[in-house]
């Protein structure tokens, strides 16, 4: 397990997939401790993120969120990445 992002007691982490074909990105929230797979391949997710970043698809709005926001999700009250 490789931790990627921490927020209080919640985090995202990467682990080897069971079939050995890549690494899964897992979301774990302490109030609902389930193992939710957010992406089957961390590499593919990261490559997509870099492409979207290069295409200026993210904005920084510190008054709303201390991080990057996808332009398509700016009107959402809750950001789900």
78, 59, 57: which is closest to 69 by C-alpha? 59
Domain holding 17, by residue range, is 2-73
Q: How does DSSP classify residue 59?
A: E
**78 falls within a domain:** no
**7 falls within a domain:** yes
**15 falls within a domain:** yes
Token code pair at residue 34:
């389930």
- Tens of pLDDT along 47-70? 988 999 999 888 887 776 667 778
Structurally, the chain folds into a number of domains equal to: 1
Residues 6+ apart with CB under 8 A from 34: 28
Model confidence pTM above 0.85: no
Q: Name 11's bridge partners.
A: 6, 28
Query: To the nearest whole number, what is the mean pLDDT of the chain?
Result: 77
């Amino acid at each position: 397990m490789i931790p990627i992002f921490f927020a209080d007691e919640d985090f995202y982490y990467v682990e080897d997939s069971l079939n050995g074909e890549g690494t899964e990105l897992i979301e774990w929230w302490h109030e609902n401790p389930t193992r939710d797979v957010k992406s089957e391949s961390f590499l593919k997710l990261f490559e997509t993120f870099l492409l979207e970043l290069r295409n200026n698809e993210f904005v920084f709005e510190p008054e709303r969120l201390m991080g990057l926001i996808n332009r398509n999700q700016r009107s959402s009250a809750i950001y789900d990445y």
